Amino acid sequence: MDSKIDFFQLTSAGNRDENQDCMVSLVENNYALFIVADGLGGHSEGAKASNYFCRGMVSNLFQFLPLMKMKPKPAMSKWVDAAVNEMAVLFNGDEAGEKAHTTCAILYMDDLRVVAAHCGDSRVYKLNQNELIWRSKDHSMIQKLYDEGKITAKEMGSHPEQNRLTRSINIAKRHKVDVKIYPSIKEEETFLLCTDGFWGYIKEAELLKLAQPDAQKENLRKLANLAVFRAAGASDNVTVQLIKGKAPS
């Protein structure tokens, strides 16, 4: 995969004292894995939840790589379950583990397919140079309001109920990830993973700028800084990963 994609990523605490987001990027010859996780919980619990989940995904990587090539949708769900099991081990009986939650946005890629998975309101976007093709559907109250036509996409990021999730990752395993499968990434296709601290203040037209052939990390940095600026002193943590298909060399 390293010859087929370019990727750029960044994370920032925004206006918060602590960055409870976590991200993973692994790019090898025959696969790539990207993860964005947004921890939820007071003090350090949220940071632990996002970090432990990401560690769980990575530690179970080689167990699930063969399955991802055969039955990617059930394999991804089982992989996430295994990561949650690892979260429980890492919390080591700490009662805080029961209260700690995280969202996740996951992108697995190999030569045959792209597998996107998510839980909560961290998002995966698929774009080309001209349009937003697809985005993951948030597990949140504001997504429900949007689906019912009661708010606009622009209003989602600043709505007072923006943080009310209907699903999240927790060691109790109450909620599952949604999984979407696409063909392998093509030249000029772009995938974007991000937390709500990013998407809540960025317009669709601005996302499309990241899908242009000349978009680089500096373009990503400018948009992330813009998201913090627009939050007017109340920015959440901001984490974003940009994965772009490139022409064969």
Render pLDDT for 6-29 as a digit per residue (tens, 0 to 9): 999 999 999 999 999 999 999 999
Given a contact cutoff of 8 angstroms between Cβ atoms, the answer to whether 119 and 176 are in contact is yes
Q: What is the pLDDT of residue 249?
A: 62
**Mean pLDDT of the region 191-210:** 96
Q: What is the pLDDT of residue 213?
A: 92
The closest of 35, 32, 106 to 65, measured between CA atoms, is 32
Q: Which fold has domain 5-245?
A: Phosphatase 2c; domain 1 (3.60.40)
Given a contact cutoff of 8 angstroms between Cβ atoms, the answer to whether 104 and 53 are in contact is yes
Give yes or no for residue 112 having a pLDDT over 80.
Answer: yes
Q: What is the pLDDT of residue 59?
A: 98
**Mean pLDDT of the region 134-151:** 92
Report the share of the chain in percent with pLDDT over 70: 99
Could you give the CA distance from residue 9 to residue 48 in angstroms, rounded to a whole number?
A: 21
Could you give the CA distance from residue 146 to residue 156 in angstroms, rounded to a whole number?
A: 8
Least confident of 143-147, 191-195, 213-217: 143-147
Q: What is the pLDDT of residue 21?
A: 97
Give yes or no for residue 229 having a pLDDT over 70.
Answer: yes
**Mean pLDDT of the region 149-168:** 84
Q: What is the pLDDT of residue 43?
A: 64
Give yes or no for residue 248 having a pLDDT over 80.
Answer: no
Given a contact cutoff of 8 angstroms between Cβ atoms, the answer to whether 98 and 172 are in contact is yes
Q: Taking all residues of the chain, what is their mean pLDDT, rounded to a whole number?
A: 93
Could you tell me the strand order of the sheet in which 238-245 lies? 5-12, 238-245, 190-194, 123-127, 132-135
Higher pLDDT, 108 or 172: 108
197, amino acid identity: G
Q: Write the pLDDT tens digit of every residue in 73-102.
A: 999 999 999 999 999 999 998 888 888 999
Q: What is the pLDDT of residue 19?
A: 95
Could you give the CA distance from residue 180 to residue 54 in angstroms, rounded to a whole number?
A: 19
Q: What is the pLDDT of residue 41?
A: 74
